[in-house]
Amino acid sequence: MIYGALEAGGTKMVCAIGDENGKIVDQISIPTKTPDETMPKIIEYFKDKDIKALGIATFGPVDVHPESPTYGHILETPKTAWIGFDLLGCLKDALNVPAGIDTDVNGSLIGEATWGAAKDVSDAVYITIGTGVGGGIISGGKIVHGMLHPELGHMKMVRDSSDNYTGKCPFHGTCLEGLASGPAIEDRWGVSAKELVDRDEVWELESYYIAQAIANLIFIISPKKIILGGGVMHQEQLFPLIRKKVLDNLNGYFKLDELSDIDNYIIPASLNDDQGIMGAIKIAIDAV
């Protein structure tokens, strides 16, 4: 059985087909322009693939509530050409197959929870630190949506006393995304994150913010596993720094096995940057 998967991003649309084991059989990438330009290309790709269903993991905000009349529509977004666009309906109509949609970060979390590091974990968080910062939450075995969907990248941060950077988020300035996204790193230090590998102070500060956010999440939702992905997390030296600072933040409050084994508690994404598209395959499987 072949399923269609779309990972809709702000810069590119990844279209793939895969099987019930999450194996990706074929994949292409199409630049994200306007719906008029981009959608026909996506439809063209899936049209003759004989897919059984389609799963979509998309940039947001997006209506992810199946019972809502605007389920699958893109909501208010800086990508103005897409505001109000019925992404799910457009593809469902054109391809005439069952389809489901969730956010890009929930897609990655679903991928990890189905085939990766959060397999069989009932309570997990996935955080991506990339162009933006976002995250998905599984609580009691269910993806958390709530009134919209979590936007944990916009949680408020206590700034490090040495950090005078004003923050990159147009809404909140110094939220987590405003202080710790890839573009925030580049803006603060003047060169791209990749060129800062040897600058210890960069990763000390970066890990300070990520650890603070993770400690907040531990206090609020008590996850059993925390998975970190996205371009910035390719800097593997961040992991030990983050783990140590998380424990510093918790300051001995919890006496838990998970936290004693923190190397297996805060872990990198495990699916080779395919977690998003694999999650979309699972969304397709679930749509049947």
Residues within the interface to ligand ADP (CB under 6 A): 9, 11, 130-132, 182-183, 192-194, 230-232, 234-235
Find the shortest distance in angstroms from Cβ 61 to Zn ion.
13
Residue 244 CA, distance from chain mean position: 23
Contact 179, 153 (CB under 8 A): no
Contact 179, 165 (CB under 8 A): yes
Residues in the chain: 288
Q: Which does 64 bind (CB under 5 to 8 A by kind): ligand ADP, Zn ion, none?
A: none
Find the shortest distance in angstroms from Cβ 184 to ligand ADP.
9
| Residue 159 binds to Zn ion (criterion: CB under 5 A) | no
Find the shortest distance in angstroms from Cβ 156 to Zn ion.
9
- Write the CB contacts of 123 (distance below 8 Å, at least 6 apart in sequence): 138, 139, 140, 221, 222, 223, 224, 225
Contact 104, 60 (CB under 8 A): yes
Q: Which does 230 bind (CB under 5 to 8 A by kind): Zn ion, ligand ADP, none?
A: ligand ADP
Closer Cβ to Zn ion, 62 or 169, answer by number: 169
Single-letter amino acid, residue 278: M
Closer Cβ to ligand ADP, 224 or 234, answer by number: 234
Q: For Zn ion, which residue of 172, 189, 224, 259 counts as binding (CB under 5 A)?
A: 172
Find the shortest distance in angstroms from Cβ 207 to Zn ion.
19
Q: For Zn ion, which residue of 49, 145, 154, 159 counts as binding (CB under 5 A)?
A: 154
Burial environment of residue 159 by CB neighbours within 10 A (0 to 12, 13 to 18, 19 or more): middle
Specify the residue for token string 């791209």.
192
If DSSP states are collapsed to H, E and C, what string results for 43-87? HHHHHCCCCCCEEEEECCCECCCCCCCCCCEECCCCCHHHCCCEH
Q: Which does 154 bind (CB under 5 to 8 A by kind): ligand ADP, Zn ion, none?
A: Zn ion
Find the shortest distance in angstroms from Cβ 163 to ligand ADP.
18
Q: Which does 72 bind (CB under 5 to 8 A by kind): ligand ADP, Zn ion, none?
A: none
Task: Report the interface residues with Zn ion, using CB under 5 A.
Answer: 154, 169, 171-172, 175
